[in-house]
Amino acid sequence: MATTSTFGTTARKAIARLAMIGLDEKSGEILRECFRQFGVSTTPVTDDPSHRFLKEKFEACVLRLDDGAEIILEQVRNSPSNKRIVIYGISKGTQAAMRYSKYGINAVFEEPLERPSVLKVVRSTHLLVINELRRYVRVPIVTEATIEAQNNRIPSSTLEVSAGGMSLICSSNSHSVARLPTYASASSSVTTSPYLASMSKRFASCGSGARSPTHSLMTIVRKPC
């Protein structure tokens, strides 16, 4: 049964759990209300998260990508019950989150947290959390990527990857980016992390007629300066 949140929006009945690791009350409230709309309940984790992840099963977690994040991410990815969960990071920008990309960060909330931007990220990723995937899977993942096109090398980061291709985001302050089309064919070379390369191979068999990532279309999203 649907309920009404404090923001005046309709929330679905919770069908998935998200662990909020070491977050302050204000950040927790924004995330709680946004995830609640899509049937995801939130559980604050203020004690040692390693014990919680050994005893409890979650579908997702969110934590700040600070100096203490690597230990927690290592514990999550090595947890028998939670190693495949969706991981949300909170940082001051996508580039600041790149040092943790080997742990498979699925999406990043940029600080300071604001409800419209948080809601946009949750809306685009919640299907992965509640395990309601479309036939053609589009998995959000944040990792470094380099575009090589028109004799230029352009640093970027990934947004989503699927059997048919990937979405990339890069800053619009580059003259090289300004000359690139919104959609670039596979003739443009994209170099990503080993983690994403190994994960992409799994999507080659997703759904009948799914194309290999090597014959893909990449969507380039220009991020304002």
Give the model's confidence band at 178: pLDDT under 50 very low, under 70 low, under 90 confident, else very high: very low
Q: What are the start and end residues of each CATH 3.40.50.2300 domain in the chain? A: 3-129
For residues 108 and 169, which has the higher predicted lDDT (pLDDT)?
A: 108
Rounded to an integer, the average pLDDT of 27-44 is: 97
Rounded to an integer, the average pLDDT of 207-223 is: 39
pLDDT tens per residue, range 103-129? 999 999 999 999 999 999 999 899 889
For residue 40, the cross-strand partners are 16
For residues 196 and 92, which has the higher predicted lDDT (pLDDT)?
A: 92
Give the other-Cβ count within 10 Å of 41's Cβ. Answer: 15
Superfamily covering domain 3-129: Response regulator (3.40.50.2300)
For residues 31 and 166, which has the higher predicted lDDT (pLDDT)?
A: 31
pTM higher than 0.75 for the full model? no
> In one letter, which amino acid is 79?
S
- DSSP-assigned letter for residue 206: S
pLDDT for position 197: 52
Peptide bond into 112 cis (omega under 30): yes
Q: How far is CA 184 from CA 33, 144, 167, 199, 218, in A?
A: 37, 18, 10, 22, 6
pLDDT for position 154: 79
* Percent of the chain clearing pLDDT 90 (strictly above): 43
